[in-house]
A and B are shown apart, each in its own frame.
Chain A
């Protein structure tokens, strides 16, 4: 069963529509200011009523805004059995803005000061639930969570849901709004954040990631179903592979074992050979470890091939969106294969001998023959997801 993309939506620090977002990547724009990639122009009340906005954590507000775009573009739920429409939207950390505010309220005012909306705002499945309510989607619905691989797992598992015949279409994606003082401090204490506040994946001077926020949601649909109702098809999701490093709770396996395994599983799932891959959207976080080991894993997958495909990192523009990253990057694949152009890695200045692939540093690159692209997502916990997207 072939799965296609019939709807796209995104809220990011560089654009609040698929076109605006992707064109900003091509224009080498950065959404990072003062060391974070915040969606400063996002108005929750543009996406929902003031009452619902007040009852929703920011991570849900972002997801709803992205889902509204995707659902409108796909023209669902019209023309689809609501019991065959699923929602699978994940988050890495859930409603941290709410968690922090409610902890402060509780410490100051005791039990009575805790909002009755706290649990439904904080819980990691709130975005998926809120979207299902808005759309009237009665099919399978839940959230997945695998830290920074969440978005990749969400899109992949949604594809599987359609493969298994459990849904005709699934509203799938990832969302994150974790730019709270507590969370930024926590990542900083781990040594994961860039001291310089610049995301420069694969560059010799990279010193950590920059936190960002945002959401991306796609409508995935059984191809036959989409064609029968005359829906526009933007790309095909043809492969998904997941793996576990089973090595360390935050560090990647030194030999890139899990990353390699996820990419190979994805190629097998897609029925593709390494030579079919024309582009890889890297996890590319800008941490010293990730970028070195991801490079190693890609080289192992491409088995010493003289010309592994070009690789670029969206995180160079918008920072690391944690649980939303894989979904945003799946959208990048859709746009790359659809338009035949590769987005660049920005802030890449100094080559690192350990990172010796083609990272598309010069600017957008025309790729008219691009048929198949991969997206890597690797999460704390050692959990990895890889997606393969093909031209429709």
Chain B
């Protein structure tokens, strides 16, 4: 399970990707913040999702986007998908 990020690692990864698209306050983003809180719109989210897919070599289906309303949701999804991937290759 070495490749499944911890809560903190997943949060840090999302903060980094938000910073890459110049979201103000990205470095201090918290798990309970919504995208609206961070002024991240649907176009920004497409960029963040692609970056996370590339970073963890996972695929986030379009249908899953609706379920990630907060930074914490996105971190949880990344953990879930990386865990599934580890399971599949174990």
Contacts and interface: CB of A to CB of B under 8 A. Distances in A.
Q: Are A and B part of the same complex? A: yes
Interface of A: 49-51, 53-55, 112, 115-117, 120
A117 to B, nearest CB: 6
A143 B23 CA distance: 29
Contacts of B43: 55, 116-117, 120
B24 A51 contact: yes
A50 B47 contact: no
Given A116-B43, A117-B43, A120-B43, A50 B22 contact: yes
B22 A51 contact: yes
Contacts of B24: 49, 51
Size range of the interface on B?
A: under 10
A115 B20 CA distance: 14
B50 to A, nearest CB: 6
Interface string B36-49: 00010001001100
Shortest beta-carbon contacts, A-B, top 3: A116-B46, A51-B22, A50-B22
Interface in B36-90: 39, 43, 46-47, 50
Contacts of B47: 115-117
B51 to A, nearest CB: 11
B22 A112 contact: no
Nearest to B45: A116
A150 B80 CA distance: 53
A148 to B, nearest CB: 32
B56 to A, nearest CB: 15
Nearest to B23: A51
Contacts of A116: 43, 46-47
B34 to A, nearest CB: 17
A16 B11 CA distance: 42
A71 to B, nearest CB: 22
A51 B46 contact: no
Interface of B is mostly: loop
Nearest to B46: A116
15 contacts: A49-B22, A49-B24, A50-B22, A51-B22, A51-B23, A51-B24, A51-B39, A53-B22, A54-B21, A54-B22, A112-B50, A115-B47, A116-B43, A116-B46, A117-B43
Contacts of A51: 21-24, 39
Contacts of B21: 51, 54
B66 to A, nearest CB: 16
A130 to B, nearest CB: 14
Nearest to A120: B43
A55 B43 CA distance: 10
Contacts of B46: 116
A163 B50 CA distance: 49
B57 to A, nearest CB: 13
Contacts of A117: 43, 47
B71 to A, nearest CB: 16
Contacts of A120: 43
B89 to A, nearest CB: 22
A51 B18 CA distance: 10
Contacts of B22: 49-51, 53-54
Nearest to A112: B50
Contacts of A50: 22
Interface string B19-36: 001111000000000000
Contacts of A115: 47
Contacts of A54: 21-22
Contacts of A55: 43
Contacts of A112: 50
Nearest to A115: B47
B49 to A, nearest CB: 10
Given A51-B23, A112-B50, 11 more contacts: A49-B24, A50-B22, A51-B21, A51-B22, A54-B21, A54-B22, A55-B43, A115-B47, A116-B43, A116-B46, A120-B43
A51 to B, nearest CB: 4
A116 to B, nearest CB: 4
B31 to A, nearest CB: 21
A53 B24 CA distance: 13
A41 to B, nearest CB: 22
Nearest to B39: A51
Contacts of B23: 51
Residue among A54, A116, A120 with the highest chain B CB neighbour number at 10 A: A116
Nearest to B18: A51
